[in-house]
Amino acid sequence: MTPSSRIRAAAGLTVAALLAACTQPPASTSPAQVTAPQPQPTPDTVMSDTGNLQEVVEVPPEPPRKQPLSPETRAMYAATEDNGLQVPAIEDKYLSEDKKRQLVDYYAPFEPGTIIVDPGAKRLYHLQGDDTAMRYTVAVGAAGREFSGEARIPYQRDWPTWTPTQSMIEREPDVYTQFEDGMEGGLDNPLGARALYLHQGGEDTLYRIHGTRSPWSIGKAVSSGCIRLFNQDVIHLADQVSSGTRVIVLSAAETGKYTRPPSDIADGGQSPAASPASGTPDIAGMAEQTLDALPPEPG
């Protein structure tokens, strides 16, 4: 095992439970057309002392810190209580002044309250008006199918449940049958503290903006199908979002769009990508492959 290997406990689930996209639609809605799931290799696993499988995840090292963390950043990601649950603090090694949520200049020509996801830059922008936005760092999909376009958020859930797909239950009934009615939300739930559900034309797109139990993943290309934030960030975002909020997901070719004033671009400048993507972003990947983003079901 290399020094960069990290072992993540699957909390009673096999690794296959961590390798499922957000593909289970709510019972009350009709799913949008999606690509059929395709089998993928299973990561290496080891058995823990408690008898649970653990996933061995190769995590790239964090880049060198350009500036020390400010007390304000540490406070922003400190432990907090939410709905009776103690949300752990984000460790310093997963934070940076660039990665923290912050108000930035952003020149998108849409109404305040709109959410813009830039998967190539690993950013989510919540428009505030006056050419500004609250910027969040996110984890998105690795190379694969790409989704771009618009959706709406009809509802959100605090500490949402997840439910395995029928194909998962059929493939490994010993693992998933116990969760066929859903696993209640909590600190071990892959969807984290909040889930915002994206619909197109009244149909569930099967994509979620949600929290995570894996803070090391934020800013990386690890999840297929979902848009993942630190729990502290998704709580903050969800508090600002109302039913019907518009969501725009940029294409790979649009990475970095709206980060420069229109006058700069009119003068021949290019809107740069905020950071190079690790492969083609995959917001809409519907295969049952993620590191820990499992399908939710509204409760």
Query: Residue 110 and residue 116: Cα distance in Å, rounded?
Result: 10
pLDDT of residue 140: 84
Q: What is the pLDDT of residue 76?
A: 98
Cβ atoms within 10 A of the Cβ of 50, count?
Answer: 9
Q: Report the 10 Å Cβ neighbour count for 128.
A: 15
* DSSP classification of residue 99: T
* Coil vs helix vs strand at 278: coil
Structure-token match 């998962």, residue found? 168
The pTM for the full model equals 0.72
Q: Which pLDDT score is estimated for 151?
A: 94
Per the CB < 8 A criterion, the answer to whether 121 and 255 are in contact is: yes
The residue with tokens 């109404």 is: 111
CATH architecture of 5-60+98-261+272-297: Beta Barrel (2.40)
Tokens of 66: 């350009």
User: What is the rounded end-to-end Cα distance, in angstroms, of the chain?
Assistant: 40
Q: Which of 146, 194, 171, 190 is nearest to 55 (CA)?
A: 190
At CA 122, angle to CA 231 and CA 101, rounded to 5?
50
Q: Cβ(208)–Cβ(198) under 8 Å?
A: yes
Cβ 283 vs Cβ 142: under 8 Å? no
Output the pLDDT for position 166. 81
Tens of pLDDT, residues 239-267: 999 999 999 999 989 999 999 998 876 66
| Positions marked catalytic | 210, 226
How is 258-271 classified by DSSP, letter by letter?
Answer: TSS-HHHHHTT---
Q: Which two tokens stand for residue 107?
A: 């020149």
- Tens digits of residue pLDDT in 33-81: 333 333 333 333 333 444 433 334 555 666 677 789 999 999 999 999 9
Say what the pLDDT of residue 95 is.
96
Question: What pLDDT sits at residue 252?
Answer: 87
CB atoms inside a 10 Å sphere around CB 170: 11
SS3 287: coil
**Using only C-alpha atoms, what is the Rg of the chain?**
19
What are the tokens at 240? 């600002």
pLDDT in the model for residue 298: 42
Q: Report mean pLDDT in 10-residue bins for the chain, 299 residues.
A: 44 38 46 36 38 45 80 97 97 96 98 95 97 96 58 96 78 80 87 94 88 91 75 98 96 94 70 41 33 37
Q: Where are the domains of the chain?
A: 5-60+98-261+272-297
